[in-house]
């Protein structure tokens, strides 16, 4: 049931009618052509002044096309848009996900044991901690070899089956925290309904030593259920004749879900199910039981450290003044480029190989959250919302797509992420890596003028090709070291950045109706592909022809 909007702190003037928005429009016309070269020349302290720090992360936002007045107006926009009240409503357990009538409380997943977070008058923290304790016991058992497979062999392979929020977080964090993982365990993540994914990820595994974690909030997702069923077949075929199928499955399959009924229908003992709650969105769930595979890899203590990092950033977001608030600053800078400069994409460029999947993780977090075209009250927006988020680790990206960021015609704001200490000291690699972070942001901001190019003796023909206009905006985020705690803070930083932007745009960042239509249509087409005779097809002529061609040629 859609609750009346006046019940929510987001009831407010339309975005474009807010005084700060109007003022920003006027201001934009004045500063649009300002150059970072000039801004830095005028203010020797800019690079130290326009920085903020919180939860172990240092943000340098000085290489953005903003003045002090821009920031003042952007923060005024945050106030007028009611972002703070909305933030407090989220932390307070109000049902701010109006289209699903749910609270949004991923922050409760990392609240300390003794904290109180109320949902409908009930403190949910004890439930969260109870599940964490059960997860820890289970993870410990697997790590210690006391949880064995059905033939008594210790589990050595853990395969998480899930998709979207039930996959991307564990995949990303497992890669990010590999350094802290038990290397005697093999972790695999199966997500794609393409059978190749399951086949390739299981082909070298011994079923006797393999545990499947079926992760699905709903336990109805087509891809996950198909993979889970095939994994069951693979396991039973690999084990040969078993005496008691249910007892065998119980040793090799556990579930993470909110849907106990579907879990037991599938054949997994609900004693081996780890729950979470409808107030945890899929893309905000990696710090719930969805993180079980990660917890097995890095251990319960490492997982608790990760949660502590999330909580550090939650507290920073909740309490730091807007001027020093990292998620707020990243959020408003994104709005500045998206809505005033018309930037369509935003790149996230981690200079750490362990963060290889961080951009992919952020794609779901950001694009599923803020890829919306109506406001909370259902009006079509008359401004742009979420950008396309993309990226891959430096320095590889430098040799692929940075050319376009430096000299192309699109404005692409970028976040550069780096660490002062490496986890793998191999001199001089880390200095080389970090030199590239600093060099790239310097080059993007200040470029190289025609005069500089000519002064180098470059001829008139070539000179235009060698000019770097610069004025390409970047943020640089530095942390000392990639630890579980720092990773937690980094993820929470982006969660809250997305929140700030969604609140400014007055959209619901917590539903995802846009993925439904395709799911429904696929459900209709499956029986048409599998029908014995020639099925009657009622689609458009293109879809009908494609289905017929596929049926005729699939062999």
Q: Tell me which residues are annotated as active site.
A: 368, 399, 519
d(Cα 120, Cα 139) in Å, to the nearest integer? 31
Q: Nearest distance from residue 135's CB to ligand F6P, in Å? A: 17
d(Cα 79, Cα 85) in Å, to the nearest integer? 9
Local structure of 348: helix, strand or coil: strand
Is 509 a residue that touches ligand F6P (CB under 6 A)? no
Count how many Cα atoms sit within 13 Å of the Cα of residue 81 in the half-sphere of its side chain: 28
d(Cα 174, Cα 171) in Å, to the nearest integer? 5
Burial class (CB in 10 A: 0-12, 13-18, 19+), 455: exposed
Please, which residue, 224 or 392, has the CB nearer to ligand F6P? 224
For residue 530, how many other CB atoms are within 10 A of its CB? 9
Candidate list 163, 213, 273, 486; residue touching ligand F6P; CB under 6 A: 163
Look-up: residue for tokens 């979470």? Answer: 276
- In DSSP terms, 58 is beta-bridged to 53, 478
Q: Nearest distance from residue 224's CB to ligand F6P, in Å? A: 5
Q: Nearest distance from residue 547's CB to ligand F6P, in Å? A: 24
Q: Nearest distance from residue 512's CB to ligand F6P, in Å? A: 5
Is 283 a residue that touches ligand F6P (CB under 6 A)? yes
Please, which residue, 290 or 306, has the CB nearer to ligand F6P? 290
Q: Nearest distance from residue 168's CB to ligand F6P, in Å? A: 8
User: How many residues lie near ligand F6P (CB under 6 A)?
Assistant: 14
Range list of β-strands (E), 210-320 = 210-215, 253-257, 273-275
Candidate list 54, 164, 169, 397; residue touching ligand F6P; CB under 6 A: 164
Is 288 a residue that touches ligand F6P (CB under 6 A)? no
Please, which residue, 100 or 208, has the CB nearer to ligand F6P? 100
Look-up: residue for tokens 């820890």? Answer: 136
Is 165 a residue that touches ligand F6P (CB under 6 A)? yes
Please, which residue, 15 or 280, has the CB nearer to ligand F6P? 280
Question: Which of these, 328, 332, 347, lies nearest to 387 by C-alpha position?
Answer: 347
Alpha carbon 247 to chain centroid distance?
A: 37
Please, which residue, 23 or 360, has the CB nearer to ligand F6P? 360
Local structure of 200: helix, strand or coil: helix
With contacts defined by CB under 6 A, name the span among 211-219, 234-242, 374-382, 456-464 that binds ligand F6P: 211-219
With contacts defined by CB under 6 A, name the span among 143-151, 215-223, 308-316, 448-456 that binds ligand F6P: 215-223
Please, which residue, 78 or 389, has the CB nearer to ligand F6P? 389
Q: Radius of gyration of the chain from Cα atoms?
A: 25
Is 170 a residue that touches ligand F6P (CB under 6 A)? no
Q: Nearest distance from residue 437's CB to ligand F6P, in Å? A: 31
Is 372 a residue that touches ligand F6P (CB under 6 A)? no
Is 512 a residue that touches ligand F6P (CB under 6 A)? yes
Is 217 a residue that touches ligand F6P (CB under 6 A)? yes
Is 275 a residue that touches ligand F6P (CB under 6 A)? no
Restricted to residues 347-366, the positions that interact with ligand F6P (CB under 6 A) are none
Q: Nearest distance from residue 2's CB to ligand F6P, in Å? A: 19
Is residue 64 a contact partner of residue 329, using CB atoms and an 8 Å limit?
Answer: no
Is residue 490 a contact partner of residue 57, using CB atoms and an 8 Å limit?
Answer: yes
Is 218 a residue that touches ligand F6P (CB under 6 A)? yes
Is 224 a residue that touches ligand F6P (CB under 6 A)? yes
What six digits make up the tokens of 260?
């106990």
Q: Could you tell me where the DSSP H helices lie in 50-93?
A: 68-80, 83-91
Q: Nearest distance from residue 265's CB to ligand F6P, in Å? A: 15
User: What are the DSSP calls for 142-201, one per residue?
Assistant: HHHT-SB-TTSPBP-EEEEE--GGGTHHHHHHHHHTGGGS-TTSEEEEE--SSHHHHHHH
Strands 122-123 and 118-119 come out as antiparallel
Is 282 a residue that touches ligand F6P (CB under 6 A)? yes
Is residue 212 a contact partner of residue 161, using CB atoms and an 8 Å limit?
Answer: yes
d(Cα 491, Cα 282) in Å, to the nearest integer? 14
For residue 457, how many other CB atoms are within 10 A of its CB? 6
Residue of minimal CB distance from ligand F6P?
282
Is 216 a residue that touches ligand F6P (CB under 6 A)? yes
Strands 414-419 and 345-350 come out as parallel
d(Cα 480, Cα 482) in Å, to the nearest integer? 7
Please, which residue, 107 or 216, has the CB nearer to ligand F6P? 216
Is 221 a residue that touches ligand F6P (CB under 6 A)? yes
Question: Which of these, 428, 450, 337, lies nearest to 66 by C-alpha position?
Answer: 337
Is 265 a residue that touches ligand F6P (CB under 6 A)? no
Please, which residue, 87 or 283, has the CB nearer to ligand F6P? 283
Q: Nearest distance from residue 133's CB to ligand F6P, in Å? A: 23
- Applying CB under 6 A, the residues found at the interface with ligand F6P are 163-166, 216-218, 221, 224, 282-283, 368, 512, 515
């Amino acid at each position: 049931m859609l609750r009346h909007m006046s019940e929510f702190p987001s009831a407010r003037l339309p975005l474009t009618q807010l005084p700060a928005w109007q003022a920003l429009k006027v201001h934009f016309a004045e500063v649009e052509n300002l150059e970072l070269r000039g801004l830095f020349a005028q203010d020797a302290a800019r690079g130290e002044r326009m920085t903020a720090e919180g939860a172990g992360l240092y943000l340098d936002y000085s290489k953005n096309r903003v003045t002090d007045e821009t920031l003042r107006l952007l923060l005024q926009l945050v106030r007028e848009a009611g972002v703070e009240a909305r933030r407090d409503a989220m932390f307070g357990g109000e049902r701010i996900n109006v289209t699903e009538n749910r609270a949004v409380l991923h922050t409760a997943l990392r609240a300390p044991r003794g904290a109180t977070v109320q949902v409908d008058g009930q403190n949910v923290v004890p439930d969260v901690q109870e599940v964490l304790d059960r997860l820890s016991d289970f993870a410990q058992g697997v790590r210690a070899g006391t949880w064995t497979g059905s033939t008594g062999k210790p589990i050595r392979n853990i395969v998480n089956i899930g998709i979207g929020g039930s996959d991307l977080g564990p995949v990303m964090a497992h890669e990010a925290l590999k350094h802290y993982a038990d290397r005697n365990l093999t972790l695999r993540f199966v997500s794609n309904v393409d059978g190749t994914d399951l086949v390739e990820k299981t082909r070298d595994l011994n079923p006797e030593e393999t545990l499947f974690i079926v992760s699905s909030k709903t336990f109805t997702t087509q891809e996950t259920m198909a993979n889970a069923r095939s994994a069951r077949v693979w396991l039973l075929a690999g084990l040969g004749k078993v005496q008691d199928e249910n007892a065998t499955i119980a040793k090799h399959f556990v579930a993470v879900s909110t849907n106990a009924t579907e879990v037991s229908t599938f054949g997994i003992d609900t004693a081996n199910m780890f729950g979470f709650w409808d107030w945890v969105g899929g893309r905000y769930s990696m710090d719930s039981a969805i993180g079980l595979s990660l917890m097995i890899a890095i251990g319960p203590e490492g997982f608790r450290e990760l949660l502590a990092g999330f909580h550090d950033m939650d507290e920073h977001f909740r309490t730091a003044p807007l001027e020093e608030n990292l998620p707020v600053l990243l959020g408003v800078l994104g709005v500045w480029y998206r809505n005033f400069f018309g930037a369509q994409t935003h790149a996230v460029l981690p200079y750490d190989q362990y963060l290889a999947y961080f951009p992919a993780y952020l794609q779901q977090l950001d694009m599923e959250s803020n890829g919306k075209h109506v406001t909370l009250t259902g009006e079509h927006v008359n401004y742009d919302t979420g950008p396309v988020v993309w990226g891959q680790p430096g320095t590889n990206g430098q040799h692929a797509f940075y050319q376009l960021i430096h000299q192309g015609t699109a404005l692409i704001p970028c976040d550069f992420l780096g660490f002062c200490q490496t986890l793998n000291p191999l001199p001089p690699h880390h200095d080389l890596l970090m030199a590239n972070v600093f060099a790239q942001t310097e080059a993007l901001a200040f470029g190289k003028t025609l005069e500089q190019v000519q002064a180098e003796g470059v001829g008139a023909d070539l000179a235009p090709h060698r000019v770097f206009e610069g004025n390409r905006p970047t943020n640089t985020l530095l942390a000392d070291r990639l630890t579980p705690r720092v990773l937690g803070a980094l993820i929470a930083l982006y969660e809250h950045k997305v929140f700030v932007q969604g609140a400014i745009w007055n959209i619901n960042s917590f539903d995802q109706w846009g993925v439904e239509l395709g799911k429904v249509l696929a459900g209709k087409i499956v029986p048409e592909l599998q029908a014995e005779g020639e099925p009657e097809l009622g689609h458009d002529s293109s879809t009908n022809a494609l289905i017929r061609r596929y049926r005729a040629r699939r062999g």
